[in-house]
Amino acid sequence: MKIPILRILITLSLLCASLFTQEKKAGDEALGTKKYSDFETPQFCGTSCHIDFYRQWEQSMMSQAYTHHWDEIEYFKLAVPHAEKDPKVAGVKAGCNGCHSPIAFLAGDVPPPKPSENSRANESVSCDVCHTITGFKGDVPFNFNYISEPGKIKYGPREGLVSPAHETKKLDFLRSADFCGTCHNEKDPYDIWVKSTHLEWKEGPYSKEGVRCQDCHMTYAPGRNASMAKELPNVAQHLFHGAHDPGKVRGVVELRIHPDVREAEPGERVIFNVALFNQKTGHKFPTGSAEERMLWLHVEATDAKGTIHHLNVDKKGFPGEEYTIAANTLAYQDMGIALNKPDFPGIQRDGIPLGDRIYRLPYLDPQGRMTIQQWNTASQSTDYRIGPRETKMETFTWTLPSNLPPGTMKVKAVLNYQKLPTPVAEFLEVPMEEAEIIQVNFHETSITILP
């Protein structure tokens, strides 16, 4: 008699557990489980109470994740048509917005109206998206596996606050890096990590020291967290500044260049050494949309007569190194699928001076060609980005031209950064600000050329 009762109990508890987890859907399974009207608009939060945070958020990429020109072009011109043609990547038509417009995704609006139609999808990553996330499902935060529970309660970092507009509840999860990781780690349909900012952070030194994403991207300052609230010493600023803030990118890496000799004659061989120290990012640099980010080292010498000589980086001989030296190569052929150009030959891969060293993670399509379509990435080549607090060393060996004029020769190392390669921006007609070249840092040394 005892066994059936036990069985019934176990069955009942399993049923309860499944009901419970069913309620808390996350990731792909949460598609269409909510309505737009379940979420407050950012204007509701920002008009009379959280004016300051609203003005900060409005300037950040969080408020433009769905509407920003390049996001619109990549989603509507490449990802949606590709997803409609290739069953392997069909899921991204809905999935892109699990992170870029969570309320459109949760409302099951696939694809949402274009940004010009001014729908609620345009709210992108809004106040109420983040402040009603209660946790994540699974072991690793990735692919929008946050649990969204919109409603009267807004979760925040402090205990016992009273608001006229809603209830508040303290939630430690909001202060964790895992919270950010739900959107800042991504696996594509080929099971490749195509975005791993949180995982890079976790492996690196900052996580061990307890320095979280919020400490660098939501820095704390004295102020009020709402217009009617009292002054606090450490209010989390809603800056979310990153790759789109040149001030955040400048100075990320420190550069030093030195020669192996101070004096040389024309025809001699001189070696210039460059050290690059990543002092500022909590993850790799570049991170995130690494498929399209480029960081490159350009070294040139100016001789006593003012003639400029470009130096090529020395090869180290590691596998995949060909992707890390700027070359006159075609790539990104897989854009032809979405663009109805089956024989698309591709476009210039790098668009920067040939022979420069590029710090990047090459994404490869199923045919092994370099791609900027992260959802079509079947493998990756060697990761040659600069880790947090890592120092990379490069050498430039140069046999001095026989006609080099005597006198001081200056040699300058410049580290440049670009969010999107120029040839891609030109080809897809993305406004050129997305391909703006930002000088991260530079350093100069000199040697004397003897007569």
Q: Which of residues 134-173 bind ligand HEC (CB under 6 A)?
A: 143-144, 156-158
From 285, 239, 243, select the one nearest 63 (Cα to Cα): 239
- Tokens 């006159």 locate to 328
**Does 385 engage in binding with ligand HEC (CB under 6 A)?**
no
**Does 281 engage in binding with ligand HEC (CB under 6 A)?**
yes
**Residue of the chain from 34, 298, 349, 419 that contacts ligand HEC (CB under 6 A):** 419
**Residue of the chain from 197, 377, 422, 441 that contacts ligand HEC (CB under 6 A):** 197
**Residue of the chain from 26, 27, 34, 46 that contacts ligand HEC (CB under 6 A):** 46
From residue 107 to residue 126, the character string flagging contacts with ligand HEC as x (rule: CB under 6 A) and all else as - is ------------------x-
**Does 81 engage in binding with ligand HEC (CB under 6 A)?**
no
CA distance 139 to 203: 16
Q: Which is nearer to ligand HEC, 50 or 349 (CB)?
A: 50
Q: What angle do CA 289, 318, 425 make, to 5 degrees?
A: 30
Question: Distances in Å between the alpha carbon of 334 and those of 22, 191, 289, 339?
Answer: 38, 18, 17, 9
CB 411 within 8 A of CB 446: yes
Q: Which is nearer to ligand HEC, 53 or 272 (CB)?
A: 53
Site residues for ligand HEC, window 236-275 (CB under 6 A)?
A: 236, 238, 240-245, 248-249, 252
The minimum distance between CB 115 and ligand HEC, in angstroms, equals 12
Site residues for ligand HEC, window 316-355 (CB under 6 A)?
A: none
Torsion of CA 207, 209, 210, 215, to 10 degrees: -90
Report how far Cα 149 is from the mean position of its chain's Cα atoms. Answer: 26
**Residue of the chain from 196, 214, 371, 445 that contacts ligand HEC (CB under 6 A):** 214
**Does 294 engage in binding with ligand HEC (CB under 6 A)?**
no
Q: Which is nearer to ligand HEC, 289 or 381 (CB)?
A: 289
Q: What count of Cα atoms within 13 Å lies in the side-chain half-sphere of residue 416?
A: 20
The answer for residues whose C-beta is within 8 angstroms of residue 448's C-beta and 6 or more apart is 262, 263, 264, 407, 408, 409
Options 7-15, 66-74, 322-330, 349-357: segment touching ligand HEC (CB under 6 A): 66-74
CA distance 363 to 347: 16
